[in-house]
Structure 1
């Protein structure tokens, strides 16, 4: 039996005994968790390089939770129908994000609150480039985090690798492990997100809510809708267990600054982001 405190992150890895020529694109893995009340929640797993997939899960519900895996390749028994259980126990620390849980819109739709009903005041700071090496890890990132905590900020707005104000694969957008995607958008770069994990985890550990922008809107014509869905599925798999807030895209219908047909791109982005948003819901 594995034990995890409520609202904290449980992570479990699965290693495929079957080799794939292109694991990121060849197979998808999800995990169905069942809480003590019998309510099911399907959580996507993420490919973490090689033959490794990982799942992250958090719950405010104290008690025994069970899980089983579902793979798009049902013949792979090392990824499909793997079963387990964990026990969620009361949180004993002082971090408000774990003590009170992630934030949501209140029932009266007039303010924000934690899932236990504790009011939450959104005071955000914008670090759009915070996951790249412009803000070095750990020195600059941790110094800035400490400063914002001391000043009373509660939210950090940050972009998940596909940044504004620059073209795709501009060297300024790399972190210590390179870019988030290979340069033809054929597959994700898990090592980029390993470095992003350190930063996101530090914000949460410091009591700050990451507001994660999936990307800037003008990346959609470059990547295409199906690639963008895979990008977003990966982000949800990697970070939905954290107490985060999501932003679909920054300036979703603004074409790239040097676009040769801005009206065409704007229309594509408007329709395309609606489709991506529906996919995520």
Structure 2
């Protein structure tokens, strides 16, 4: 079914305000998303690393990783948690003109009266009791999720809007989906793109992520939590969580964290995998490499059906426990 994309509610625009360039920034909503683009002055490797140090109005320092976005472009995204004027400075490794030492400021303002749950209450976190989820202002968050693994990968934009509007109207709060192609049921997205090519040394494909940006933006704009599976991990050469070498799984995971960590998400690092024995050790190492030492949204592993692999899987980067009762469970 197709219909023209719905007209966004004015309040929803607040979530998507971005900095158009390093030199001039629009105001960003508190708990919205700041984004800035940077262009290398000379030809540099897509593997050039960009980090951005952001200083809050109160003097707190946050450091986020940037990401390559095609040609000579890099970008960085951040969810501001304090109203007022923020300052930032970039650093690239190796140093590259246009990427290294770029400074700027942006203004963050509360989105008073916003309809969007995230702008009203802030990001989702695990409550201090460890027993439920809540927003940062203490408002409980009830996870009522719909699983649509291939939705962002294969949907038309208008159909995706219809689906999300329907789920929001029925009081769903979370949308669970697969973030990367290829995987076992989608070798490419609807436009024929893949997230990466190669295996021993993958090459990120930014054209694929332009579609995913729009689909994840739309999830959050409806006040729904995005719950992406980074890498499908069941046995099979078509599943990157199983087939990619460990260092390349880490590389792809870090890219996803950099690109979507400023959205309202809960991460599923691996989907439908076996997390015991050598596979447990593999995913412990991947999780530490992707999430260790950085600010990140809550994470939950998605095990294969009828498995409880979490005895001895007490990792500091893992925030929630997931259990899949399907695949033949009585």
Please, what TM-score do these two structures have when normalized by structure 2?
0.74
Aligned runs of 1:144-223 on 2, under 5 Å?
A: 144-162=163-181, 165-166=184-185, 171=187, 173-176=188-191, 178-184=193-199, 186-218=202-234, 219-223=240-244
What's the RMSD between the two structures over aligned residues? 1.8
- How many Å apart are 1:42 and its aligned residue? 1.1
Q: Indicate if the aligned counterparts of 1:31 and 1:43 stay in contact, CA closer than 8 A.
A: yes
Aligned runs of 1:39-50 on 2, under 5 Å?
A: 39-50=60-71
Unaligned stretches of 5+ residues in structure 1: 255-265
Give the aligned partner of residue 110 of structure 2. Answer: 90
The list of structure 1 runs, each at least 4 consecutive aligned residues, that deviate by more than 6 angstroms after superposition, is none
Q: Indicate if the aligned counterparts of 2:34 and 2:80 stay in contact, CA closer than 8 A.
A: no
Higher relative contact order (CA 8 A, sep 6+): 1
Q: CA offsets, 1:17-51, max 9 Å, x none?
A: 1203xx333x1101111112221111111111000
SS of equivalent residue, structure 1 residue 117: coil
Give the aligned partner of residue 276 of structure 1. Answer: 286
Unaligned stretches of 5+ residues in structure 2: 1-23, 235-239, 293-330
- How many Å apart are 1:250 and its aligned residue? 1.0
Are 2:82 and 1:78 equivalent residues in the alignment? Answer: no
SS of equivalent residue, structure 2 residue 286: helix
Q: Distance in 2 between matches of 1:4 and 1:178?
A: 31
Aligned length: 260
Q: Distance in 2 between matches of 1:49 and 1:30?
A: 17
SS of equivalent residue, structure 1 residue 131: helix
Q: Distance in 1 between matches of 2:156 and 2:204?
A: 21
SS of equivalent residue, structure 1 residue 211: strand
Q: Indicate if the aligned counterparts of 2:42 and 2:97 stay in contact, CA closer than 8 A.
A: no
Q: Indicate if the aligned counterparts of 2:182 and 2:194 stay in contact, CA closer than 8 A.
A: no
Q: Indicate if the aligned counterparts of 1:221 and 1:269 stay in contact, CA closer than 8 A.
A: no
Are 2:46 and 1:24 equivalent residues in the alignment? Answer: yes
Going from structure 1 to structure 2, the CA distance change for 1:31 and 1:177 (only over 3 Å counts) comes to farther
Q: Distance in 1 between matches of 2:182 and 2:171?
A: 26
Which of 256, 260, 264 is 1:235 aligned to? Answer: 256
Give the aligned partner of residue 36 of structure 2. Answer: 12
